[in-house]
Amino acid sequence: MDRTEVVASVASDLHASERAIDAAITSTTTLVQSMIGARAMLSLSPVSGAASQTKAMETIAALSAAREAIVACHAELQKDHRRMGFGAYAVGILDKPSDWDAGRPPEGVSNKRAA
């Protein structure tokens, strides 16, 4: 593998991890919604299933912490990438949200993309 392929492989794995965490958050929030809906449809007391619902919500909190960690990992990998002199390298979708106002990039940064 050449350098570009190695970097692309790591970037692909990173993006897959980010998507997996987001999918787990989505799935778990759907579970909580389903639990609440089922309790209401069965006319059960809010006390019924409270412990299991709490555990599901704790799972969402843990997944949120995992998401923060993978985003921090992404930022550190970007720094490492630049430190090692690999320069600009993009993989995946190009229309990613940025850390700044979409209508106004930070000073010294252009909105224009290479074709």
In this prediction, residues 16-30 reach a mean pLDDT of 98
Give 55-79 pLDDT, tens digit per residue. 999 999 999 999 999 999 999 999 9
Buried-exposed string 55-70: b where 16+ CB fall within 10 A, e elsewhere = ebeebeeebeeeeeeb
Give the residue from 51, 20, 49 showing the smallest Cα distance to 34: 49
Sign for the CA dihedral angle at 24, 27, 29, 31 comes to negative
Give 38-48 pLDDT, tens digit per residue. 999 999 999 99
The yes-or-no verdict on residue 100 having pLDDT over 60 is no
Task: Return the higher-pLDDT residue of 103 and 30.
Answer: 30
